[in-house]
Amino acid sequence: MCGIVGYAGHRPAVDVVVGGLKRLEYRGYDSAGIAVVADGALDVRKKAGKLANLQAMLEADPMKDASTGMGHTRWATHGGPTDVNAHPHVSSRGRVAVIHNGIIENFAELTAELAEQGVVMTSETDTEVVAHLLESTLEQAGDLAEAMRLACQRLSGAFTLVAIDAQDPDRLVAARRNSPLVVGIGDGEHFLASDVSAFIDYTRDAIELGQDQVVDLRADGVVVTDFRGQPVEVTPFTVTWDAAAAEKGGYDLFMLKEIAEQPKAVADTLLGRIAPDGLLRLDEIRIPVAELREVDKIVIVACGTAYHAGMVAKYAIEHWCRIPCEVELASEFRYRDPILTRRILVIAISQSGETMDTLMAVRHAREQGARVLAICNTNGSTIPRESDAVLYTQAGPEIAVASTKAFLTQIVAVYLVALYLAQVRGNKFGDEVAAIVRQLADMPHKVDLVLDTLEGVRALAEQFAEAQSVLFIGRHVGYPVALEGALKLKELAYMHAEGFAAGELKHGPIALIEEGIPVIVVVPPPLGRGVLHEKIISNIQEVRARGAVTIVIAEEGDEVVTPYADHLIRVPACPTLMQPLVSTVPLQVFACALATAKGHDVDQPRNLAKSVTVE
Alpha helices in 353-477, H assignment, sequence order = 356-367, 382-385, 405-425, 430-441, 443-451, 455-463
Q: Is the pTM of this model over 0.85?
A: no
DSSP run (H or E) holding 60: helix 51-60
Q: What is the mean pLDDT of residues 369-374?
A: 95
Q: What's CA 253's distance to the chain center, in Å?
A: 18
Residue type (1 letter), 236: P
Lowest mean pLDDT among 248-252, 256-260, 374-378, 557-561: 248-252
Say if strands 205-208 and 236-238 run parallel, antiparallel, or are unpaired.
antiparallel
The residues with which 174 forms a beta bridge, in sequence order, are: 162, 215
Q: What's CA 332's distance to the chain center, in Å?
A: 18
Q: What is the mean pLDDT of residues 17-32?
A: 87
Tens digits of residue pLDDT in 38-97: 988 999 999 999 899 999 999 999 998 999 999 999 978 888 889 999 999 999 999 999
How would you class 363 by CB atoms within 10 Å of its CB: exposed for 0-12, middle for 13-18, buried for 19 or more? middle
- Reported in sequence order, the residue ranges of 286-329 that DSSP labels E, i.e. its strands, are 297-302, 325-329
610 is catalytic: yes
Q: What is the pLDDT of residue 160?
A: 92
Domain annotation for the chain: domains and CATH numbers: 3-245 (3.60.20.10), 248-441 (3.40.50.10490), 455-597 (3.40.50.10490)
Q: What is the pLDDT of residue 614?
A: 63
Q: What is the mean pLDDT of residues 484-511?
A: 94
Tens digits of residue pLDDT in 117-173: 988 899 999 999 999 999 999 998 999 999 999 999 999 988 999 999 999 999 999
In contact, 517 and 552? CB cutoff 8 Å:
no
Answer yes or no: is pLDDT of 472 > 80: yes
The residues with which 314 forms a beta bridge, in sequence order, are: none
47, 257, 405, 610: the catalytic one is 610
428 is catalytic: no
Gyration radius of the chain over CA positions: 25
| More confident site: 612 or 320 | 320
d(CA 536, CA 380): 43
d(CA 290, CA 296): 13
How confident is residue 1, by pLDDT bands cut at 50, 70 and 90? Answer: low
How confident is residue 613, by pLDDT bands cut at 50, 70 and 90? Answer: low
Q: At what angle do helices 443-451 and 430-441 cross, to 10 degrees?
A: 20
How confident is residue 481, by pLDDT bands cut at 50, 70 and 90? Answer: very high
Mean pLDDT of the chain: 92
Answer yes or no: is pLDDT of 466 > 70: yes
| More confident site: 417 or 208 | 417
In contact, 411 and 307? CB cutoff 8 Å:
no
Q: What is the pLDDT of residue 157?
A: 86
Q: What is the pLDDT of residue 47?
A: 95
2, 325, 574, 592: the catalytic one is 2
Return the half-sphere exposure (C-beta side, CA atoms, 13 A cut-off) of residue 222: 29
Answer yes or no: is pLDDT of 532 > 90: no
d(CA 414, CA 419): 9
d(CA 522, CA 587): 10
Q: What is the pLDDT of residue 615?
A: 62
